[in-house]
Amino acid sequence: MCAGNREKQAARIEHNRRVGQFKMDSAKYWNSETSYVRAEDKAVMGYSRASGDIESSMRDAIGDSRLAMAQNAAMFATKRKISDEGGRSTRAGRNTYLNFLNKQATIETRLRDYTGKKAARAQIGAQRQLANVRAGNVEKLGLPPEFGPPTQYRRRSFFEKVIQPAFGVAKTVVGLGFGGLV
């Protein structure tokens, strides 16, 4: 008699091997996912710190400029000579006032540049750094494992299932009946 379909048994063994390999690859990918999540948390934390540093430096610049404006106004007030006695020129103290305005304009320009262009540039730099770190993390993560198509095996034909075993049995019976002459 027939001992079973060897191809089916081989396919079952191959399928079990593939399932085991898929489970191992899945465990490796899960470990990669946890590393990805940790790296993502670090990247977001770095972006948050960079944004905080930018915000802090902007506030420092605003404070410094306000201090400089106050010092400039104090200096102007101390240098200004007020006289209500009359007899002075209408242009008296004009140069002092123009110097005051020039210093104020310089301070405001520095402040506008720092809180505008430079802060935006720094923020974009921090965003690009975050994007680069995220892209690197995704690249390290790779693709998830795929099991692939189902394991195939060659099915036995009608001849192999029915006729061939019957022919083998008949041959054995005939061989026994004629004393091994066949």
For residue 117 the two structure tokens come to: 């262009």
* Domain match, 142 and 161 both: no
In a domain, 133, yes or no: yes
Residue with tokens 């004393």: 179
Which domain covers residue 73, as residue numbers?
6-81+90-151
pTM: 0.58
Query: pLDDT tens across 38-64, in order?
Result: 999 999 999 999 999 999 999 999 999
**Digit-coded pLDDT (tens) for 76-127:** 888 776 655 666 666 667 788 888 899 999 999 988 888 888 999 999 999 9
CA atoms within 13 A on the CB side of 25: 13
The per-residue b/e assignment along 147-173, b for 16 or more CB within 10 angstroms, e otherwise, is eeeebebeeeeeeeeeeeeeeeeeeee
Residue 1, domain member (yes or no): no
Domain count, the chain: 2
| Residue 140 shares a structural domain with residue 103 | yes
Are residue 69 and residue 112 in the same domain, yes or no?
A: yes
Are both 10 and 71 inside the same structural domain? yes
CA-nearest of 155, 70, 62 to 110 is 62
Do 72 and 141 reside in the same domain of the chain? yes
